[in-house]
């Protein structure tokens, strides 16, 4: 399970980093910014989940999990539209991170209220 998770992060990162290098090489600033945001979102989604799990809360929900990110990136590369794929990942992965933070916050608050009522 750990190795699988690490491998998936490397796969996402290598593809997005290659895309970042390409946009840097051709001087496409929007592509660079979009790809950096996609990389950040790709790191934040599992990070928020792991931090929440470390604090005793399971947060797996969200609209752009690992599978969805991989599908978007693969399809975008197959149709020769990597910038669109990076933009979708950048937007939805960061939204997913925010979703998970809000879900965890709600769960923490409900646990605190439950502890106070005991």
For the four alpha carbons of 95, 37, 35 and 14, in that order, the dihedral sign comes to negative
The gap from C-alpha 29 to its chain's centroid, in whole angstroms, comes to 21
Q: Which of 4, 8, 12, 118 is catalytic?
A: 8
Separation of alpha carbons 4 and 10, rounded Å: 10
- C-alpha triplet 85, 24, 29: angle, nearest 5°: 70
12 is annotated as an active-site residue: no
What are the angstrom distances between the C-alpha of 112 and each of 29, 103, 118? 45, 14, 10
Positions marked catalytic: 8
């Amino acid at each position: 399970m750990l190795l699988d998770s690490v491998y998936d992060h490397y796969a996402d990162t290598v593809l997005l980093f290659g895309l970042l290098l390409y946009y840097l090489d051709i001087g496409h600033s929007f592509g660079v910014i979009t790809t950096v945001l996609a990389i950040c979102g790709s790191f934040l989604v599992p990070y928020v989940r792991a931090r929440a799990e470390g604090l005793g809360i399971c947060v797996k929900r969200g609209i752009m999990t690992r599978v969805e990110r991989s599908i978007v990136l693969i399809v975008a590369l197959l149709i020769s539209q990597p910038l669109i794929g990076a933009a979708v990942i950048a937007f939805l992965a960061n939204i997913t991170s925010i979703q998970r933070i809000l879900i965890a916050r709600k769960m923490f608050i409900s646990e605190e209220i439950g502890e106070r009522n005991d």
